[in-house]
Amino acid sequence: MPSYSSWNRVKCSASKHLLTDILKHEMGFEGFLISDYNAIDQISPNYKKDVAISINAGIDMVMLTEKYPELFSDLQQLASDGSIPMTRIDDAVTRILRVKFAMGLMDKTAPRWLIADYRRLLARPHIGKSHVRRCANLSYC
């Protein structure tokens, strides 16, 4: 997950060099990249431009709040006019589906409780670490 951070004054969510050239191509990362919560809003003052920059940089899935209708509309327009190539959309979808299939999430025979337990099992150690890091930076935890 690319964060709100910047590297060489470029937001990580906007850096094709970091996300695609290095992580995906040089390092062979086959998973998918999900944006940090509303992080693409920090790229520029123009949200539609933010969508194009972040998706073309290598973000495969965007995590956001109430802006999803705007994201869907902008993404459709940007794909239709060629600002986001269909090959980029295909790559993002392939990466997301590859992970879902590998986790068994697309298997109709997998019981829902198993999937939920698996997600909790994966998340549990990270929740504790996340809380500790957050508390280290705050005086009221």
pLDDT, one tens digit per residue, over 46-77 is 999 999 999 999 999 998 878 888 989 999 99
The neighbouring-strand residues paired with 10 are: 7
Q: What is the mean pLDDT of the chain?
A: 82
Give the side-chain half-sphere CA count within 13 A for 110: 14
The answer to whether the beta carbons of residues 96 and 58 sit under 8 Å apart is: no
The answer to whether the beta carbons of residues 5 and 12 sit under 8 Å apart is: yes
Which residue is it, tokens 């280290």?
136
> Is residue 140 scored above 50 in pLDDT?
no
Q: Report how far residue 33's alpha carbon sits from residue 92's, in angstroms, rounded to the nearest whole number.
A: 8
Q: Which pLDDT score, from 0 to 100, does residue 115 have?
A: 58
Q: Which residues are catalytic?
A: 36
The answer to whether the beta carbons of residues 18 and 2 sit under 8 Å apart is: yes
Q: Write down the pTM of the prediction.
A: 0.74
CA dihedral sign, ordered 114, 3, 23, 78: positive
